[in-house]
Structure 1
Amino acid sequence: MSAESTPEPGIPGENDRGKGPRHRKRRGRRKGLLVMAWTAAGIVVLGGTGAGYLYFKLNGNIKSVDIDQALGTDRPTKVDNGSENILVLGSDTRSGSNKKLGGGTDDGSARSDTAMVIHVYEGHKRASVVSIPRDTLIDRPACTDTDGHEHDAASGVMFNSAYTTGGAACAVKTVESITGIRMDHYLEVDFAGFEKLIDELGGVEVTTTKAIDDSDSHLRLKAGKHTLNGEQALGLVRTRHGVGDGSDLGRIQLQQAFIKALVDQVKHVGLFTSPKKLYALADTATKAVTTDSDLGSVDSLMSFAGGLKGISASRMHMVTMPVRYDPANPNRVIVLKSKADQVWTALKNDRTIPKSATTGNATGEAAGVVASS
């Protein structure tokens, strides 16, 4: 396909599901998704109101990390074709308000359970989103974190160990090692911020085609249409035992469907007609997000978000990195290298991901549980 081809909407592979046993693991420390950049676009209005105090307050909310300095020059070359690649991570800091939402002890440690590479095509009218399963076994490269500490390489470890080991910089280094693609930007959001953001939006409407009952994520939904509040939305993107085969792959499918609903919701909440609502949303979003240093200001986020807000849910092609279940451990997955290479090569060349790369792979058997409303 050419770069101008329209990607097929929806979640691929629902008739090509990989088979794997139901995974019964300890309560997952799930991460909600991301503060989608379209939400941050609301800050544009505040920048023109002359409300200097509000502007600087929002600017002070944003946390940033200097990925470029930590990783140096040993990285894939930037591709100058008008596209952008953004690594979006969900983090669970295990402290403060996140302790209650994630469970466990208040030990101050950090984990990443959701990772997505967002490729924005030239012209910024459409995007491909590739989810990387947290349970994928990978060879983690040596890396230096943003505090200057060096971390040794490791073989056959879970993908999410990169963030646990060295934070944002090591996560970016690992993704670039897997994909061969330079990440232009980094965005991270936490449990508490995600839940509050959904509440500020007034909830997100989804339709479930099957009942969901998961005591681990405290989510119980009958089949049908629902407007999820923040707590319910967090439960949906965390649940793994309530639907499908209980795997992380099934949870990813729920997340992808929810993101599409969230993007559509953001476009219809009247951000620009209510200054109070706009400020509350911008305040929540900027407190929840951690960015790379290039996006670490309101001005930078304004510019970045303004370039993405035209991408609708129907123009987002969402897939999962091609994997299969590990024969030695059904709670882990292994990269299908030949198919994954097709995905990364397409994105590197700003082309649509070929359907052949995303069919016949392990999927987790949760496709279609959350449908478009």
Structure 2
Amino acid sequence: MRLLAALLCVLVLTGAGTCAWAEFRLDRSVDLGAVADRPQQGKGTNYLIVGSDGRDELSEQARKELHTGTAGGSRTDSMMLLHTGAHGTTMVSLPRDSWVTIPSYVDPNTGKFHRAAKNKLNAAYSLGGPGMLVRTVEHNTGLRVDHYAEIGFAGFVGVVDAVGGVEMCAPRAIDDPKSGLRMKKGCHNLTGAQALAYVRQRHQEADGDLGRSRNQREFLSALARKTAAPGVALDPFRAYPALSAGLDTLVVDEDMQLPGLLSLFRAMKSASGGGGGQLNVPVAGPGPGPAGRNALRWDAAKAQRLFAGLRKDQPVRADAQG
């Protein structure tokens, strides 16, 4: 979900100079053509939206203030499939703790072959970057990913601050030392740092990672509405800083063009404005055994129906998540 900065990229591209500047700045380093064992193309378009927790772009002080920890490298902090087609938009959260099959692979650093094995979904990125994550999502859903978009911590914080914050309403007080979020019951205009803590925290949620996924979708909807407001989209003192902040940590696939980002933005607005559905992948309970006790096991039958429907571009019901 930290891809949210892409929403602003397409709102301010009104001049040829700006367009050329943004085209030059876009990091199109993800080669989906290199992904192995891909499923057949279905109907409609599928975007994999990824929020990574890479800390390399953050100073030591920023890591401390944002409660991100000091671990090196990157992992996926949030993942969503966004499907667009003849029946509108469907946004499906893939909880990072989903207990899935990681396909077999060869470690590029050691040359060692690893058989397919069960693990949490967020392990895929750490094992092989965006390519392995896309392959894992495709393997477990049967959906072909048409486009990939990812943004890190710094870009997320920067874009929220640039648009003047985003209002969220908490049904109860939240005090989560791990994410650093302290929030009284009621509505608040969240800063970038507060918004990051809001979408990361899960220990205060009764349903853990599922609750976090729900918060991420709700925040995405709120940010989509905020960025589309004339007071933001048409104000260069807000729009351009947000665009710059987003492009600093935005990574997309090789075939993603600015019109594609526009389509992605419109799809997000549609999902948040009643023109589509928002749901979690159906789950049946925790993962099996000690290794999976903090994981989420998908409901195989319901998940298969959901993804089969998306592959055929059929309407899916909000109650498909169980």
> Do both share a fold (TM > 0.5)?
yes
1:138 aligns with 2:138: no
- How far 1:55 moved relative to its partner? 4.0
Aligned residues of 1:98 and 1:192 also touching (Cα < 8 A): no
The residue aligned with 1:181 is 143
Which of 287, 302, 317 is the matching residue for 2:277?
317
Identity %: 30
Q: Is the 8 A contact 2:57 2:154 kept in 1?
A: no
For residue 341 of structure 1, the aligned residue among 294, 297, 304 is: 304
Question: Is the 1:212–1:243 Cα contact (8 Å) retained in structure 2?
Answer: no
Q: Output one character per residue of 1:220-249: Cα deviation in whole Å (capped at 9) or x when no partner.
A: 11111111110110010011122325x222
For the 8 Å contact 1:115–1:133, the answer to whether it is kept is yes
Q: How has the CA–CA distance of structure 1 residues 322 and 304 changed in structure 2, closer, same or farther, with 3 Å as cutoff?
A: same
Superposed counterparts of 1:146-165, under 5 Å: 152-165=114-127
CA deviations 1:121-170 (Å, max 9, x no partner) are 237xx3111111111222111347999x8863431211111100000010
Give the secondary-structure state (helix, strand or coil) at the position aligned to 2:155: helix
* CA RMSD between the two structures: 2.6
Residue correspondence of structure 1 range 213-252 to structure 2 within 5 A: 213-245=175-207, 247-252=208-213
> Does the Cα contact within 8 Å between 1:145 and 1:169 map onto a contact in 2?
no
Q: Please, which runs of 5 or more residues in structure 1 have no aligned partner? A: 1-31, 360-373
What is the alpha-carbon distance in structure 2 between the residues aligned to residue 118 and residue 98 of structure 1?
A: 32
Residue equivalent to 1:254: 215
Q: Equivalent residue of 1:116, what SS? A: strand
Q: Which runs of 5+ in 2 are unaligned?
A: none
Of residues 157, 160, 171, the one that matches 1:209 is 171
Query: What corresponds to 1:105 in structure 2?
Result: 70
Shift of the alpha carbon at 1:41? 1.9
- What secondary structure does 1:127 align onto? strand
**TM-score normalised per structure 1:** 0.76
Q: Is the 8 A contact 2:76 2:125 kept in 1?
A: yes
Residues 150, 275 of structure 1: CA spacing in aligned structure 2 closer, same or farther, 3 A cutoff? farther
Instruction: Kindly tell me the number of residue pairs found equivalent between the two proteins.
Output: 313
SS in 2 for 1:42: coil
Between structures 1 and 2, the one with greater helix share: 2
| TM-score of the aligned structures, taking structure 2 as reference length | 0.87
Deviations 1:254-293 (A, max 9, x none): 1122122112212215344323332222212222210000
Matches within 5 A, 1:280-291: 280-291=241-252
Distance, in Å, in 1 between the alignment partners of 2:268 and 2:217 is 18
Q: Aligned-pair distance for 1:342?
A: 1.0
